[in-house]
Amino acid sequence: MGDKYFKARKEFEWKRNPQWPSIPVDDDNNNKIYMIYAVIEDNPNQLGVTVREDSIINWGDGASTTQTISSFTTIHHTYNYATVVAPILQLPDGRNYKPVLFEGIIEPSYYFYLGDIAPGFDGTNNVLECVSYLGDGVSVTGSDSSRLLFGNNSFPVLMEHVKIKSPNDDNVGDMFRYAKSIKKMELPTNFFHSGLTSIGLFGRSASFNGHNFGNININDNAPSFFSYADSFIIGDIVFGAATTTINSMCIHSNNYAFGGVSGPNVNNATYAFGGTVNNGANSIGLIDLPALTNSSNMFRRSQMPEVEFVNCANITDADDMFRDCFSIQKIIMPGLTRGVSVQNNLLTEAAINAFFTSLGTASGSQTINVSNNPGAATCDTTIATGKGFTVIT
């Protein structure tokens, strides 16, 4: 049902700055990563990358560093704006910068981590473009084969384009955090594969310009990914057995669409698709979370027109589940035994009756509020009262 209603901003055609250095084509050695780095006037211009021995970093200003340490260690470089030979360009905020081509030649199967593993010296917010040819484009398993980019202490706020050849093996946590300038993303089709066990803070506060991430498999618990993010599309999301809480998963995110959501053991979904600011989810598909017990604030402030669950029999807390929602035209909650409010929405008489029909038998004193909906005055309240619910119209 997502495409029926959701009108995400389309990814507009990205125009690469012709004055940036060219990114070399893939040589199929599976060991290179390139970036366009902005050496900015009056900026520390300090970059850290974390690699193991036998990796070579050509920083793009004529300097080169060969990693000699056998452990996963950060090497640093400071660019000198005055001496870098490159055209002087301007960032959108008016600061002058000189673009340089960073090349990392990474020992195969080892990590490449853009940024310091400790806070304070990463400078990755100067990255304008990143193209990773690391990995063979297919494999996602094997020790030390994670290809982490833009994680933890590195925030690519200026990055306009990212292209990644190979998926990380198990961890995409923190990736693209604060990526506020993305215009084009090219990720491998199996980027979100079933082996991912860490996705926390992926995309946090990023603006994705309507990028469609496709289907997602995740077996992480409490995956607070896409929180505070803007304008993205996700296909079906399948949580594995390890995921029991999706509490605050997309909290405070804005203008986004989900396909179907399923997970056999998810019991806590508070604020999963909502928040107290922003518009939350604009569209969501079939929700199959049979173990769900706590759905309070699950869709608060969201704007999706249809909400259809497969099974709500185990929900024990639905307080404020649809608070500040105003767009719901269809709501189906099979087996729900607890009270819930869907007031101030767009439910017709037929839609309210279908909602009532989907309910289970009330567990004690429970109240359903359908007031201020187009069909409130004419709906058949006996469908719900016959199941023990009190109904507010």
Partner 1 sequence: MFYKKYNSGWHKGKNIFLPSGKVLTVDNKESIDGWEWSETPPKEYLNWKSEQELNDGLGDDFFDSIL
Q: Is 218 helix (H, G, I), strand (E, B) or coil?
A: strand
248 binds partner 1 (CB under 8 A): yes
Q: Does 277 bind partner 1 (CB under 8 A)?
A: yes
Q: Are 137 and 164 in contact (CB under 8 A)?
A: no
Backbone angles phi, psi at 280, to 5 degrees: 60, -155
φ/ψ bin of 178: left (φ > 0), alpha (ψ from -120 to 50), beta (otherwise)? left
Task: Give the C-alpha separation, 162 to 106, whole Å.
Answer: 18
Q: Residues 222, 198: contact at Cβ < 8 Å?
A: no
108 touches partner 1 by CB under 8 A: no
Measured between its terminal Cα atoms, the distance across the chain in Å is 28
Is residue 338 at the binding interface for partner 1, with CB under 8 A as the rule?
no
**In this structure, is the dihedral angle defined by the CA atoms of residues 180, 182, 185 and 187, taken in order, positive or negative?**
negative
By CB under 8 A, residue 349 contacts partner 1? no
Binding-site member from 59, 176, 232, 271 for partner 1 (CB under 8 A): 271
Q: Does 252 bind partner 1 (CB under 8 A)?
A: yes
> Which window, 47-55, 169-177, 207-215, 246-254, contacts partner 1 (CB under 8 A)?
246-254
From the number of C-beta atoms within 10 Å of its C-beta (0-12, 13-18, 19+), residue 120 rates as exposed
| 381 binds partner 1 per the rule CB under 8 A | yes
Scan residues 205-224 and list those touching partner 1 (CB under 8 A). 224
Binding flag, residue 345, partner 1 (CB under 8 A): no
Phi, psi of 2 (to 5 degrees): -60, -50
275 contributes a contact to partner 1 by CB under 8 A: yes
Tokens of 358: 């989907």
* Minimum CB distance to partner 1 smaller for 30 or for 390: 390
For partner 1, which is the closer residue by CB, 251 or 351?
251
Q: Which of 150, 240, 151 is nearest to 193 (CA)?
A: 240
* Burial class of residue 90 (count of CB atoms within 10 Å of its CB; 0-12, 13-18, 19+): exposed
**What is the nearest approach in angstroms of partner 1 to the Cβ of residue 284?**
20
365 near partner 1 (CB under 8 A):
yes
Q: Which is nearer to partner 1, 26 or 324 (CB)?
A: 324
Nearer to partner 1, 311 or 393 (CB): 393
- Mark 282-321 with x for binding to partner 1 (rule: CB under 8 A) and - for no binding: ---------------x---------------------x--
Least distance from partner 1 to the Cβ atom of residue 369, Å: 7
Select from 44-52, 78-86, 92-100, 384-392 the region that touches partner 1 (CB under 8 A): 384-392
CA 380 – CA 349 distance, rounded (Å): 8
The C-alpha atoms of residue 212 and residue 184 are separated, in whole angstroms, by: 11
User: Which residues of this protein are in contact with partner 1, per CB under 8 A?
Assistant: 224, 227-228, 248, 251-252, 271, 275-277, 297, 319, 324, 339, 362, 365, 367, 369, 371, 381-382, 384-386, 388-393
